[in-house]
Amino acid sequence: MSSSYTAVYVMMQSEHNAELHPVEVMAIVNITPDSFFSSSRNTAYRDVVARVEQAVREGADILDLGGYSSRPGADDIDVEEEWRRVQMGLDAVRSVGGDVRVSIDTFRSEIVRRAYEHYGRFTVNDISAGEQDEHMVATVARLGLEYVAMHMRGRSDTMQSLTQYDNGVVADVEQYLRRRADELIAEGIERDRIILDPGYGFAKSVEQNWQLLDVVEPLCKDYKVLVGVSRKSMIYKPLGLSPEEVLPGSLALAWEAMRRGACVLRVHDVAATRQVADMYNYYKTLMR
């Protein structure tokens, strides 16, 4: 939280004597050569350190380290290459210091196991909700880690051909995430450590991504919800622009996601989103 907002937040907390959970900003730290937003790609250690330093300086609450690009058509890499990249990210975080939390964007339980031994506790951000690695859920449960379960279909090379939903994208995604959360709890992950992600851009058309905003509010009644729409095609395609040109659109959608109840915003642009999140948190404090 920025220092200016913290002061206001503490003052309003005392005045209203009410518990408030501010929206958190999760900074994307791509340790990849092929992520969809070219400006977010980092491959050299010095670049990763610079990105971590920038995200911390700009007010990130969480650093989301990713060594495997999940954009449509991205190259597959083996576990050793993914681990090399993730370890680079963890070493960069350790070198920068501070108390910012860490998330690792992976669907592989072996990456989770190695990262825990190398670094300690972190959040697992799994685009497959445990569906692509049969050992993932048990590993997360055993280690007692926070877990982000995202909705998707297929893999990066097939997901955009899997956009047919029997009952509509909103109903089907909500049903899947609720069912999957129940399964995760049954397999040992504590309910309050589960965060749900509707999976914007994963096996959804541009129109379906917009429709899927309607799933945030009902899910937020029972779980924390993460929204990741930063610079995605649902913004730049309708505008006829490139990912590099749609920061204003990303910020507008960030506000809408918060208005619908999102607790975590996964973003490329930390400073700008931090300001929007602080404004929203302040507004919600005043309205209590």
Q: How confident is the model at residue 153 (pLDDT cuts 50, 70, 90)?
A: very high
Residue 269 lies in a domain: yes
Which range among 107-116, 122-131, 268-277, 278-287 shows the weakest confidence by mean pLDDT?
Answer: 278-287
Residue range(s) defining the domain that contains residue 271? 22-287
| Residue 95, in any domain of the structure | yes
Q: Is the pTM of this model over 0.85?
A: yes
Cβ neighbours around 80 below 10 Å, total: 8
What average pLDDT does the segment 113-132 reach? 97
Angle, vertex CA 72, rays to CA 203 and CA 168, nearest 5: 10
Residues known to be catalytic: 232, 266
Domain of residue 63, CATH code: 3.20.20.20
- The number of distinct structural domains making up the chain is 1
The pLDDT confidence band at residue 19, using thresholds 50, 70 and 90, is very low
Percentage above 70 pLDDT, the chain: 89
9 within some domain: no
Please tell me the least confidently modeled range out of 5-14, 127-136, 232-241: 5-14
Alpha-carbon torsion angle 118, 185, 132, 211, nearest 10? -110
Cβ-in-10-Å burial (0-12, 13-18, 19+) of 126 comes to buried
Residues linked to residue 27 through DSSP beta bridges, in sequence order = 63, 267
Whether the per-residue pLDDT at 3 is higher than 70: the answer is: no
Q: pLDDT per residue over 177-230, tens digit each?
A: 999 999 999 999 999 999 999 999 999 999 999 999 999 999 999 999 999 999
Residue 253 phi/psi, 5-degree rounding, is -70, -35
pLDDT value for 41:
65
Residue 94 Rama label (left phi>0; alpha psi -120 to 50; beta): alpha
**Residue 68 in domain:** yes
Does 234 fall in a domain?
yes
Please give the sequence-ordered ranges of beta strands (E in DSSP) within 18-163, or none if there are none. 24-30, 62-66, 101-105, 123-126, 146-150
Using the predicted structure, report yes or no on whether residue 17 has a pLDDT greater than 50: no
Query: Residue 3: inside a domain, yes or no?
Result: no
Contact 238, 26 (CB under 8 A): no
15 is a domain residue: no
Under a CB-based contact definition with an 8 Å cutoff, are residues 139 and 107 in contact?
no
Residue 5 lies inside a defined structural domain of this protein = no
Confidence of residue 72 (pLDDT cuts 50, 70, 90): low
